[in-house]
Copies of this chain bind each other. A is one copy, B any other.
Amino acid sequence: MKNYLLTPGPTPLAPEVVAAMAQPILYHRAKEFEHLFEQIRIDLRYLYETAGDVLLFTSSGTGAMEAAVCNVLSPDQKALVVRGGKFGERWAELCQAYHVKLECIDVEWGESVEPAQVQRHLEQDTEIRAVFVQASETSTGVAHDVQAIGEIVRKFPQTLLVVDAITAMGVSELRTDAWGLDIVVSGSQKGLMLPPGLAFASVSEKAWSFVERAQLPRYYFDFRAEQAAQRKLQNAFTPAISLIMGLAVALQLIRREGLEHVIARHARLARMTRAAVRALGLELLAKRAPSAAVTAVWNPPGVEGKAIVRGLHDRFGITIAGGQGKLSGKIFRLAHLGYVEAGDILMGIAALETVLAQLGVAVTPGSGVAAAEAEFTRNDG
Residues of A within 8 A of B (CB): 3, 5, 7, 9-10, 12-13, 18-19, 21-22, 24-30, 58-63, 66, 70, 93-94, 97-99, 187, 189, 195-197, 216-222, 237-243, 313, 319, 321
Which of chain B's residues have a CB closer than 8 A to the CB of A61? 237-238
Is the CB–CB distance between A220 and B62 below 8 Å?
A: yes
Q: For the complex, what is the distance from the CA of A265 to the CA of B196, rounded to whole Å?
A: 33
Is the CB–CB distance between A25 and B9 below 8 Å?
A: no
State the majority secondary structure of interface residues on A.
Answer: loop
Is the CB–CB distance between A60 and B239 below 8 Å?
A: yes
Is the CB–CB distance between A196 and B241 below 8 Å?
A: yes
Known: A30-B319, A97-B218. A238 touches B9 (CB 8 A): yes
Is the CB–CB distance between A195 and B25 below 8 Å?
A: yes
Is the CB–CB distance between B63 and A97 below 8 Å?
A: no
Q: For the complex, what is the distance from the CA of A66 to the CA of B220, rounded to whole Å?
A: 7
Q: For the complex, what is the distance from the CA of A93 to the CA of B240, rounded to whole Å?
A: 22
> Nearest-CB distance from A112 to chain B (Å)?
24
Which of chain B's residues have a CB closer than 8 A to the CB of A27? 5, 7, 10, 319
> Nearest-CB distance from A10 to chain B (Å)?
5
When C-beta atoms are compared, the residue in chain B nearest to A6 turns out to be B27
Known: A239-B60, A239-B196, A319-B30. A217 touches B97 (CB 8 A): yes
Is the CB–CB distance between B237 and A60 below 8 Å?
A: yes
Which of chain B's residues have a CB closer than 8 A to the CB of A98? 217, 219
Is the CB–CB distance between A21 and B242 below 8 Å?
A: yes
Known: A99-B217, A217-B217. A10 touches B28 (CB 8 A): yes
Q: For the complex, what is the distance from the CA of A58 to the CA of B240, rounded to whole Å?
A: 9
> Nearest-CB distance from A4 to chain B (Å)?
9
Q: For the complex, what is the distance from the CA of A61 to the CA of B196, rounded to whole Å?
A: 17
Which of chain B's residues have a CB closer than 8 A to the CB of A9? 238
> Nearest-CB distance from A74 to chain B (Å)?
12
12 more CB-based (< 8 A) A-B contacts, given A5-B24, A21-B242, A63-B220: A10-B26, A13-B25, A22-B22, A58-B196, A59-B63, A63-B63, A97-B217, A97-B218, A99-B217, A195-B243, A196-B240, A217-B217
Residue of B22, B189, B239, B319 near A238 (CB, 8 A) is: B189
Is the CB–CB distance between B241 and A243 below 8 Å?
A: no
Which of chain B's residues have a CB closer than 8 A to the CB of A22? 18-19, 21-22
> Nearest-CB distance from A376 to chain B (Å)?
26
> Nearest-CB distance from A293 to chain B (Å)?
14
Which of chain B's residues have a CB closer than 8 A to the CB of A221? 220
| Max count, chain B CB within 10 A of own CB: residue among A7, A63, A94 | A63
Residue of B13, B58, B313 near A30 (CB, 8 A) is: B313
Known: A59-B59, A195-B240, A197-B242. A24 touches B13 (CB 8 A): yes
Known: A238-B196, A313-B30. A21 touches B24 (CB 8 A): no
> Nearest-CB distance from A219 to chain B (Å)?
4
> Nearest-CB distance from A223 to chain B (Å)?
13
> Nearest-CB distance from A15 to chain B (Å)?
9
Q: For the complex, what is the distance from the CA of A218 to the CA of B63, rounded to whole Å?
A: 11
Residue of B12, B25, B216 near A10 (CB, 8 A) is: B25
> Nearest-CB distance from A194 to chain B (Å)?
9
| Max count, chain B CB within 10 A of own CB: residue among A63, A219, A220, A321 | A220
